[in-house]
Amino acid sequence: MTAAQRIFGIDFTSAPGKRKPIVCCELALDWPTSGHPVPQLSLIALTTWDTFAPFEAFLATLPTGSLTGIDCPLGLPYAFLVAQGWDTLSWRGYLAEVASHTKASWLARVNDDRATRPAGQKLPLRETDRLAQAKSPLMTVRVPLAKMFYEGATRVAQAPVTVWPFDVELSETFTLTATSAPIVAEVYPAQCARYLQRRLQQHESPRAWRPYKQEQLTTAEALQDVQQAMLQALLAPETQADLGITLNIPHPERLLGEAKGDTLDAFFAAVWAALYSLHPGSAYSEAPWQQEGWIICPNVPSNSI
């Protein structure tokens, strides 16, 4: 590819509004040339949407050859699919079942399923959730992932895009070309955050997670310090060399200081998606993964996340 490839990162919410909009980060991925021997990632734009309408318009007009990483569960645990009698359906098949519900009736169905499960097994995970250390897509409180799935996955399924990995053969490896249909994939920004914190703490023992969102911190100063340290870790020349990219991030301060870290998460989602297009991770070998979905994770050095 010679033209810049467009990469998008989406920090999704199930109830967009002025106080918590959907955030979109756009990057340009310039592939190697004689003048730039390694791929370059440039921050192009940050956009917020306080209703679903512009998000739907975004999905409907994604450019050919683009990749969008969305922080929203796109699939459901196989155990839940079995319990609902949906385990023989394709992803699009069971999305049609979900879309036939109102949000209230969908959440009632999720809660009814939870009531039948023994203690300690109330929230089944997908295989990819276990590997990514992510929460169950069936959560309805604190992080309302079941609501996000209902609002996000149903809209993605209706868009003219290839949804990874549901719309591909199990044997296919991830390939993005200038002529390929736009791809949308699930991404988990916390993986990028963990990677950066590992780099920050590589000489510390024991290592400890440093929260970068206000609900986990007591002061705005602490939040700003952790966010800035993580961004500096990403922009460090040695990190860029390890990742095999160069970064061009004009005015990086606009990514920082938000109480909920939504803009930074959208940026992390875009960076992680771009790295996945350069360094694809695991292929798929088991059928449930194509029903459950997959959180994309690049195969990058020292990537213990």
Residue 20 CB neighbours (<10 A): 15
Tokens standing for residue 215: 């609900």
Over residues 10-39, mean pLDDT:
91
The single-letter DSSP state of residue 163 is: E
Q: Among residues 46, 104, 114, which one has the least CA distance to residue 262?
A: 46
- The β-bridge partners of 26 are 8, 45
HEC profile of 63-97: CCCCEEEEECCCCCCHHHHHHHCCCCCCHHHHHHH
Contact 245, 39 (CB under 8 A): yes
Q: How confident is the model at residue 171 (pLDDT cuts 50, 70, 90)?
A: low
Q: How confident is the model at residue 1 (pLDDT cuts 50, 70, 90)?
A: very low
What's the predicted TM-score (pTM) here?
A: 0.92
Tens digits of residue pLDDT in 26-71: 999 998 776 778 999 999 999 999 999 999 999 999 999 999 999 9
User: Residue 277: CB partners within 8 Å, gap ≥ 6?
Assistant: 5, 7, 29, 67, 174, 176
Range of the domain at 221: 1-305
Tens digits of residue pLDDT in 214-258: 665 557 777 888 899 999 999 999 999 999 999 999 999 999 978
Q: How many domains does the chain have?
A: 1
Q: How far apart are CA 122 and CA 52, in angstroms?
A: 30
128 in helix, strand or coil?
helix
Q: How confident is the model at residue 305 (pLDDT cuts 50, 70, 90)?
A: very low
- How many Å from the N-terminal Cα to the C-terminal Cα in the chain? 30
Beta strand 40-49 with 22-30: parallel, antiparallel or unpaired? Answer: antiparallel
